[in-house]
C-alpha cells in the first residue's frame, strides 16, 4: 500500500482522480465552450449529447473535485507537519510562498482560473491549526461552512452582490476574445485582467472560507490516518461515503433543478450551494479509500494507474493548462469554441490517459515531477536529487 519514501498509494491515487475531475470542468473554459451562445453550441458535432452531459457535470463534478483536491491539500499539510521536527511553521510558510509564486506564474502565463494562489494564501492560515485535534478541526470546518451559509443568505439584504459582479463580468467580456484570436502576449495581458475577474468571483462566493473548511477536514482525516490501509476506521469511512454520496447528490440535484420560489426551496438550494460539494468530495474520498484498502486485481490496477498522476499532481495540473491553451487558443491550435462538450469529454479522457502513461514512465526514471522538484528545492534551499539511483 505504501511506497518508498513514506508515500501512500491510495492518497496519490485519490489526488490523481481529483486531477481528472478538475480537467472535466476546466476544459470548458480553455476550449471556449463555456463562453459561446446556445445556438453556436448546437451547430457543433455531437452537440446532441451536450445538455445531459452538462447537467450531470454540474451535479456530480463541478466544484466537487476542487473540494476533493482541497481536502487532500489539508491531508498532505498535516502529514508533512507531523514529519517536520524543526521549525514546522517556518517550513510551511516557505512552502506556501513557493506555491504562491508558482500559482501566480500559472495564472498569468496559462490559466487565470488557477487555484494554487488561493491554496497558498489560505494554506498560510491553515498553519495556525496544526496542533488541533481531529474533532476540533472538524467542528471548525462545520462552523466555517455554517458561516458561509449565513453570509450568503443575508448577503443580498446587506447589499452584497449576488453571483458575478459588474466589474468581473465586464473584465470577462472584454478579454475572452484575446484567447480566441490574440497573440500569446495578448493572452498574457488578458490573463492578468481575467485573474482579477476570477478573484472577485471567488471572494463574492466566499471560496476562501470554503477552501479552508476542506483543508481542516483533510487535516482531521490525516490525524486519523484514514488513507492508510491498517488504520482501522472502517465504519467511519463507510458512514462518510454513504452520507456524503447520498445527501450530497440529493442536494446537488436540488441546487441544479429547483427554482428557489418558496422559503423551503431557497433554503434547499442554498444548502446545495454550500455543502453539496464538500459532502460529495468526502463521499468520493471515503468510498475510494475504502475500496483501495483491498488487494484485488482491479483494485490494485486502478490504484496503481492513478497514483503516478497524483504523485506529480502539481506538474499535471499545470500541464493540463499548457496543453489546452496550445490546442484551443487562437495563437496556436485555433480550436477555440469549435468542439462540443461531448467532444471535450473525449479529449479530456485521452489527455488524462496520456498523463497517466507519461507520469508512470517519468517516475521510473526520476524521483518526482519537475515542478515538485523545483518546489522542494525552493523550500529546502538545497537541490534535491532528481534522477533515481541505479541498482
> What percent of the chain is modeled with pLDDT above 70?
95
Write out pLDDT tens, residues 11-20: 999 999 999 9
Predicted confidence (pLDDT) at residue 390 exceeds the cutoff of 70 = no
Phi, psi values for residue 163, rounded to 5°? 70, -155
| Orientation of helix 184-204 relative to helix 166-181, angle to 10° | 150
Residue 40's pLDDT band, with cuts at 50, 70 and 90, is confident
Nearest of 69, 55, 20, 18 to residue 255 by alpha carbon: 55
Burial class, 189, CB count within 10 angstroms (exposed 0-12 / middle 13-18 / buried 19+): middle
Q: Where are the domains of the chain?
A: 4-380
Q: Are 245 and 239 in contact (CB under 8 A)?
A: no
Residue 169's pLDDT band, with cuts at 50, 70 and 90, is confident
Nearest of 365, 290, 328 to residue 36 by alpha carbon: 328
Amino acid at each position: 500500500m505504501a511506497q518508498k519514501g513514506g508515500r501512500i498509494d491510495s492518497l496519490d491515487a485519490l489526488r490523481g482522480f481529483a486531477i481528472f475531475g478538475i480537467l472535466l470542468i476546466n476544459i470548458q473554459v480553455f476550449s471556449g465552450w463555456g463562453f459561446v451562445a446556445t445556438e453556436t453550441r448546437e451547430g457543433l458535432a455531437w452537440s446532441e449529447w451536450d445538455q445531459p452531459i452538462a447537467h450531470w457535470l454540474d451535479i456530480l463534478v463541478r466544484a466537487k473535485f476542487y473540494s476533493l483536491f482541497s481536502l487532500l491539500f489539508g491531508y498532505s499539510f498535516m502529514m508533512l507537519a507531523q514529519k517536520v521536527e524543526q521549525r514546522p511553521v517556518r517550513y510551511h510558510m516557505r512552502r506556501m510562498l513557493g506555491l504562491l509564486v508558482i500559482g501566480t506564474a500559472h495564472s498569468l502565463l496559462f490559466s487565470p482560473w488557477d487555484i494554487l494562489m488561493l491554496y497558498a494564501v489560505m494554506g498560510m492560515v491553515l498553519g495556525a491549526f496544526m496542533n488541533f485535534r481531529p474533532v476540533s478541526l472538524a467542528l471548525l470546518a462545520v462552523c466555517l461552512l455554517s458561516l458561509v451559509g449565513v453570509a450568503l443568505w443575508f448577503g443580498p439584504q446587506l447589499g452584497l452582490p449576488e453571483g458575478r459582479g459588474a466589474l468581473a463580468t465586464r473584465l470577462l467580456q472584454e478579454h475572452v476574445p484575446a484567447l480566441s484570436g490574440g497573440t500569446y502576449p495578448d493572452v498574457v495581458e488578458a490573463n492578468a485582467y481575467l485573474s482579477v475577474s476570477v478573484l472577485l468571483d471567488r471572494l463574492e462566493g466566499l471560496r476562501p472560507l470554503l477552501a479552508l473548511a476542506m483543508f481542516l477536514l483533510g487535516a482531521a482525516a490525516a490525524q486519523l490516518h484514514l488513507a492508510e490501509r491498517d488504520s482501522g476506521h472502517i465504519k467511519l469511512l463507510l458512514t462518510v461515503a454513504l452520507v456524503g454520496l447520498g445527501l450530497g447528490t440529493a442536494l446537488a440535484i436540488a441546487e441544479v433543478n429547483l427554482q428557489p420560489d418558496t422559503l423551503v426551496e431557497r433554503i434547499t438550494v442554498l444548502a446545495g450551494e454550500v455543502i453539496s460539494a464538500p459532502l460529495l468530495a468526502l463521499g468520493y474520498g471515503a468510498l475510494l479509500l475504502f475500496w483501495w484498502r483491498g488487494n484485488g486485481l482491479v483494485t490494485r490496477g486502478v490504484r496503481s494507474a492513478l497514483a503516478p498522476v497524483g504523485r506529480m499532481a502539481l506538474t499535471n495540473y499545470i500541464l493540463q493548462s499548457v496543453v489546452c491553451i496550445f490546442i484551443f487558443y487562437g495563437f496556436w491550435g485555433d480550436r477555440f469554441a469549435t468542439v462540443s462538450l461531448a467532444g471535450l469529454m473525449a479529449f479530456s479522457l485521452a489527455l488524462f490517459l496520456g498523463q497517466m502513461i507519461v507520469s508512470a514512465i517519468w517516475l521510473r526514471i526520476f524521483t518526482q515531477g519537475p515542478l515538485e522538484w523545483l518546489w522542494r528545492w525552493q523550500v529546502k534551499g538545497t537541490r534535491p536529487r532528481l534522477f533515481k539511483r541505479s541498482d
